[in-house]
Chain A
């Protein structure tokens, strides 16, 4: 079993929809959680960075962490065609130089 599980998709939604992207994990030591957006043939771009349980909002993006269920989510409101990309979740036990473990990514397509 992988430490981090992420549905690869693809996920297709109409423009303006609310998108929900999710990851589950098995390592209870994970404390820091990240979401990255990756366009084709580009490097991952950091979207959200959160610590422990709770919600964090930044513009149209909301990151949610439920440590009791070992489940994290990224919500995208008012989705745009420019949001079409692969979304990677990532997590690490604590800060500093601890190893970061990635999900395999979910491919999202927002249809105009």
Chain B
């Protein structure tokens, strides 16, 4: 079945450590996105990529980095510069033309 796989489901890190969240899709979608979800704030866009080797900052990119070396993969690194990294992170993808976002099942990151 086609879909978006995020791993791991839960991630725990100590403050000051960088951590990388994985996102893989087999939908053959060109565009991929990372969102952060916090209670009462809805989904906020971190980064997005329309094609391989190209990506743009979203609304809250500070303290995050991404890469897009393959069409299927769009990993997100949460760096130690991110002041409040504990959150639920969602990866999404979208086909070309008018089409909705499709989401993975998220990674819950807890930093202590």
Binding site for B on A (CB under 8 A): 4, 8, 32, 34, 36, 41-46, 49, 51, 88, 90, 94-97, 99-100, 102-105
Contact = CB atoms under 8 A, between A and B. Distances in A.
- Per CB-CB distance, the 7 closest pairs between chain A and chain B, nearest first, are A95-B98, A43-B103, A104-B42, A102-B43, A43-B105, A49-B100, A102-B42
Interface in B35-65: 40-43, 45, 48, 50, 58
A41 B106 contact: yes
A94 B100 CA distance: 11
B102 A46 contact: yes
B100 A104 contact: no
B97 A95 contact: yes
B68 interface: no
A97 B101 contact: no
A88 B101 contact: no
A51 B40 CA distance: 27
Contacts of A90: 100-101
Interface of B: 4, 6, 31, 40-43, 45, 48, 50, 58, 88, 90, 94, 96-106, 108
The winner among B40, B100, B101, B108 for most chain A CB atoms within 10 A is: B100
B103 A44 contact: yes
B94 A43 contact: no
B96 A96 contact: yes
B103 to A, nearest CB: 4
A100 B35 CA distance: 11
Contacts of A94: 98
A34 B92 CA distance: 14
